[in-house]
């Protein structure tokens, strides 16, 4: 996993609540056996119509908007456990997803892929969604803050200390778990 | 202070706690399938490590398999490759696989319980959110992502933070025509689709105690649809009676020893929950959803909300968007609305008891001409039992097409899809936009309500038919 650094970027607003994993990446695209290339079909059925033509007013098809920070309505990522949802968002080029509420499994999946879920208050979320498209936002993981650069308005966000260290250093849980295999064996023995 | 059912199991499985971090939780049983495992196998191989405890893993092919002609090679190339890769990976790493054609193959959450693999007091995971189903046996069972599948491959452990605990007590007696699916759709409608996020839910109360194991599985299965990590129910005599004699259940004196252990698995009288909810069973009607998340449900005789009656602005937007997708009018009843498809299947409602329920309604009747009915048993064993009990004759006489075991139109990964714009009364668990096929419109309901719709070709109150 790549280490997470501070991100300053314009945002892509998606003011929709309950964005579920079937919208992020529909099941018919889950047949792949690698993690790459899912970005192409991110939000597939909102982005393209039945004939495959881009839907004009969907935000990802609007050339005026771009950035590494996706800002979405509350209860983002609900539904299935498919990690493909996090892979598609990361593969598309987003580094941060901001919402006022994330579904549990999605949040874990994002963190496991170096994609940072940032929880903000409803009021701050509204501010972000209403920004001018040229405004930039800075997400500083070390300081655990998200700032609207133009106005300096800022909020802190919570993250588990262990996960933060992992992200900042690009470690992953598997390296850690492999390193404690002997302790796990001792635990197994103790249960017999 | 007393302990909750959840904590009795959790505490036994903590290998160690990381300061300012999560706990290392030991996983007794890991279920895998073809869709969410290939990248995890690859990950392990890239690291050059072996699977830590391959004997604690069980695999099946279910999500992406055809439900007709399973003996023939899979036509879709990508699907075929994915299923083949599961076989290759399992063979290479020494994992037991009940693949296509095996008499134990089926939807992963149907086969675990029916084989006796799922047991009280266990920790269980699977790369599928409906792993919560297994909680019906008094296990801590939850869905994980593919990175986490890889973690369990590597160490039989996961890093997990202790969730908040919620208890939902359903007290009293259910009325006629109301079954487990209605209870859970009712609860989700009350709590909303995000209402239990961050919680593990224990279902309790006299109405839950009175349910069969199949019905309890339906309830725990859908606990994820209100955002919960999982749901669980304390094991009791109903649980033990269901498990006894199943292929992987303990036998002989080991069985007695285990049952004595399992009897300790309940929430102590003074256990504390972060949240307690009480539901009156008698208030529940047969339920149906009208929207695009499982929380947007109403009693079958009720009306879709009138938008000016929805106080919350955001909620109003959510409902308006859902109604637009569903082609429904605010404020109008759903009763008598024509439907073109009925899907009876999925890990929520494809067990033998569900199919018996359907057969009970349709016996001696014929489906409506305008409806395409798909009935997909949850496993090969369920399929065999249908024949043994003669239910296949009932279904065939009614004009239902019985397919072979798999997830099928629950997620529309194979060819079992609902065409754009058409309505499907479905016994599955998700009514998201496009879940059953791009543009498909799903109305979630119980097997009874689905059977009624199959007979009349429209949304029907099953109480008028039974
Ligand atoms: S039946 Fe549906 S919900 Fe259940 S495991 Fe299969 S795809 Fe998931």
Is the minimum distance from the CB of B411 to ligand 1 under 6 angstroms? yes
**Do residue B21 and residue A108 have CB atoms under 8 angstroms apart?**
no
In chain B, what is the straight-line distance between the N-terminal and C-terminal CA atoms, in Å?
A: 48
pLDDT at A5 over 90: no
> What does pTM read for this prediction?
0.94
pLDDT of residue B73: 92
Confidence (pLDDT) at B413:
86
Helices (H) and strands (E) in chain B, counts: 15, 19
Q: How confident is the model at residue B1 (pLDDT cuts 50, 70, 90)?
A: confident
Which of A 129-148 lie inside 8 A of B, CB atoms?
A: none
Selecting from B15, B129, B432 the residue whose C-beta is nearest the C-beta of A187 gives: B15
Ligand 1 contact via B344 beta carbon (within 6 Å)? no
Strand pairing category for B140-143 and B123-126? parallel
DSSP string, B117-131: -S-TT-EEEESSGGG
Asked whether residue B144 carries a pLDDT value surpassing 90, the answer given is: yes
**Residue B399: CA count within 13 A, CB half-sphere:** 16
Instruction: Please write the tens of the pLDDT for every residue from A175-190.
Output: 999 999 999 999 999 9
CA-nearest residue to B65 within chain A is A31
pLDDT at B222: 98
Q: In what order do the strands lie in the sheet with B275-280?
A: B230-232, B199-204, B164-171, B275-280
pLDDT of residue B99: 95
Mean pLDDT of A120-143: 97
Percentage of the residues of chain B whose pLDDT score is greater than 90:
96
What pLDDT score was predicted for residue B330? 97
pLDDT of residue B314: 86
Average pLDDT of span B370-389: 97
Residue B412 confidence (pLDDT):
85
Q: In the predicted model, what is the mean pLDDT of residues B435-439?
A: 94
| CA B271 – CA B274 distance, rounded (Å) | 10
What gap in Å lies between CA B261 and CA B294, rounded to an integer?
Answer: 36
pLDDT at B19: 83
| Pick from A109-113, B107-111, B201-205: least confident | A109-113
Helical residues (DSSP H) of B48-138, grouped into ranges: 77-93, 108-115
DSSP helix/strand/coil, A97 = strand
B432: nearest CB among A22, A34, A50: A22
Q: At what angle do helices B380-388 and B352-362 cross, to 10 degrees?
A: 40
pLDDT digits (tens, 9 = 90+) for A10-37: 999 999 999 999 999 998 899 989 999 9
* DSSP assignments along B235-248, one per residue: --HHHHHHHTT-TT
ipTM: 0.92
Q: What is the mean pLDDT of residues A58-65?
A: 95
CB contact under 8 A, B20 and A28: no
Quote the minimal CA–CA distance from A57 to chain B in Å: 15
Find how far residue B432's CA is from the centre of its chain. 15
Q: In which band, very low, low, confident or very high, does the pLDDT at A2 lie, cut at 50, 70 and 90?
A: confident
Test mutation, A28, A53, A129, chain B, max B CBs within 10 A = A28
How many whole angstroms separate alpha carbon A12 and alpha carbon B229? 29
Q: What is the pLDDT of residues B163-181, one digit of tens each?
A: 999 999 999 999 999 999 9
Half-sphere exposure of A164 (CA within 13 A, CB side): 15
Name the maximum alpha-carbon separation found in chain B: 64
B384 phi, psi to nearest 5 deg: -65, -40
Mean pLDDT value across residues B109-119: 98
B306 touching chain A per CB within 8 A: no
Nearest to B108 by CA among B92, B132, B85, B84: B132
- The pLDDT of residue A81 is 86
pLDDT at B430: 96
Paired residues of B373 in beta bridges: B342
Whether the pLDDT of residue A85 is over 80: the answer is yes
Question: What is the Å distance from ligand 1's center to B303 Cα?
Answer: 29
Are A27 and B412 a contacting pair at CB < 8 A? yes
Instruction: Tell me, using a 6 A CB cutoff, whether residue B107 lines ligand 1.
Output: yes
Over residues B239-289, the pLDDT tens digits come to 999 999 999 999 999 999 999 999 999 999 999 999 999 999 999 999 999
In angstroms, the first-to-last Cα distance of chain A is 36
A151 pLDDT above the threshold of 90: yes
Identify the pLDDT of residue B21.
Answer: 82
CB A43 within 8 A of CB A72: no
pLDDT at residue A1 is higher than 80: no
pLDDT in tens, B56-89: 999 999 999 999 999 999 999 999 999 999 999 9
CA dihedral (B84, B89, B95, B101) in degrees, to 10, reads: 0
If we measure between CA atoms, which residue out of B138, B102, B107, B106 comes closest to residue B123?
B138
- Among residues of chain A, what percentage have pLDDT more than 70? 100
Q: Give pLDDT tens digits for A39-50.
A: 999 999 999 998
Distance B129 CA to ligand 1 centre (A): 8
Mean pLDDT of A109-121: 96
Alpha-carbon span B308 to B262, nearest angstrom: 51
Q: How many contacts (CB atoms, under 8 Å) link A and B?
A: 176
Q: What is the pLDDT of residue A172?
A: 87
Question: Is B410 within 8 Å of B430 (Cβ atoms)?
Answer: yes
Contacts A28 to B, Cβ<8 Å: 412-413
Q: What is the mean pLDDT of chain B?
A: 96
Determine the pLDDT at residue B372: 97
Q: Which residues of A touch B147 (CB under 8 A)?
A: 83, 109, 112-113, 172-174
């Amino acid at each position: 996993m790549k280490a997470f650094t501070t991100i300053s970027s314009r945002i892509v607003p998606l003011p929709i609540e309950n964005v579920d994993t079937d919208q992020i990446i529909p099941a018919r695209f889950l047949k792949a056996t690698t993690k790459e290339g899912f970005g192409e079909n991110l939000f597939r059925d909102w982005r393209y119509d039945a004939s495959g033509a881009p839907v004009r007013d969907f935000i990802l098809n609007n050339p005026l908007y771009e950035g590494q920070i996706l800002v979405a309505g509350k209860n983002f990522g609900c539904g299935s456990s498919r990690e493909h949802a996090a892979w598609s968002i990361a593969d598309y080029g987003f580094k941060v997803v901001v919402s006022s509420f994330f579904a549990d499994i999605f949040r874990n999946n994002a963190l496991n892929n170096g994609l940072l879920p940032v929880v903000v208050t409803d009021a701050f979320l509204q501010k972000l969604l209403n920004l001018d498209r040229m405004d930039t936002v800075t997400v500083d993981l070390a300081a655990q803050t998200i700032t609207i650069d133009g106005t300096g308005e800022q909020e802190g966000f919570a993250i588990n200390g262990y996960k933060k260290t992992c992200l900042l250093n690009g470690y992953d849980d598997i390296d850690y778990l492999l390193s404690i295999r002997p302790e796990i064996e001792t635990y197994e023995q103790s249960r017999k | 202070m007393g302990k909750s059912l959840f904590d009795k199991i959790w505490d036994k499985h903590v290998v160690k706690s990381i300061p300012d971090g999560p706990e290392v939780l030991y996983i007794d049983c890991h279920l895998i399938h073809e869709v969410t495992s290939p990248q995890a196998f690859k990950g392990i191989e890239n690291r050059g490590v072996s699977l830590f405890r391959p004997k604690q893993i069980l695999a099946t092919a279910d999500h992406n398999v055809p439900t007709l002609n399973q003996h023939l090679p899979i036509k879709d190339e990508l699907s075929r490759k994915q299923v083949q890769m599961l076989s290759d990976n399992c063979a290479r790493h020494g994992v037991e696989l009940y693949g296509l054609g095996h008499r134990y193959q089926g939807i992963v959450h149907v086969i675990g319980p029916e084989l006796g693999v799922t047991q009280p007091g266990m920790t269980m995971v699977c790369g599928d959110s409906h792993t919560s189903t297994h909680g019906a046996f008094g296990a801590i069972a939850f869905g994980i992502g593919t990175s986490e599948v890889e973690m369990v491959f590597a160490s039989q452990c996961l890093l997990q933070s202790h969730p908040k605990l919620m208890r939902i007590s359903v007290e009293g007696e259910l009325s006629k025509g109301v079954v487990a699916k209605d209870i859970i759709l009712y609860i989700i409608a009350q709590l909303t689709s995000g209402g239990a996020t961050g919680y593990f839910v224990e279902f309790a109360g006299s109405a839950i105690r009175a349910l069969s194991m199949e019905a309890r599985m339906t309830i725990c299965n859908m606990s994820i649809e209100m955002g919960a990590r999982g749901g669980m129910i304390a094991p009791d005599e109903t649980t033990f009676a269901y498990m006894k004699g199943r292929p992987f259940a303990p036998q002989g004196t080991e069985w007695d020893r285990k049952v004595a252990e399992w009897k300790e698995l309940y929430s102590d009288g003074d256990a504390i929950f972060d949240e307690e909810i009480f539901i009156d069973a008698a208030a529940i009607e047969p339920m149906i959803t009208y929207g695009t998340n499982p929380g947007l449900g109403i009693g079958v005789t009720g009306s879709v909300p009138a938008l000016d009656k929805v106080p919350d602005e955001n909620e109003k937007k959510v409902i308006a968007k859902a109604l637009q997708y569903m082609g429904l009018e605010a404020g109008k009843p759903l009763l008598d609305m024509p439907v073109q498809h009925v899907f009876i299947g999925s890990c929520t409602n494809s067990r033998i008891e569900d199919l018996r329920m359907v057969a009970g309604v349709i016996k001696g009747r014929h489906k409506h001409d305008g409806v395409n009915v798909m009935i997909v048993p949850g496993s090969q064993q369920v399929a065999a039992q249908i024949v043994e009990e003669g239910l296949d004759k009932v279904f065939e006489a009614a004009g239902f097409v019985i397919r072979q075991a798999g997830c099928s139109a629950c997620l529309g990964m194979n060819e079992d899809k609902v065409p754009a714009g058409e309505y499907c009364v479905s016994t599955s668990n998700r009514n998201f936009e496009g879940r059953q096929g791009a543009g498909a419109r799903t109305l979630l309901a119980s097997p009874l309500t689905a059977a009624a719709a199959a007979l009349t070709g429209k949304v029907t109150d099953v109480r008028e038919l039974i």
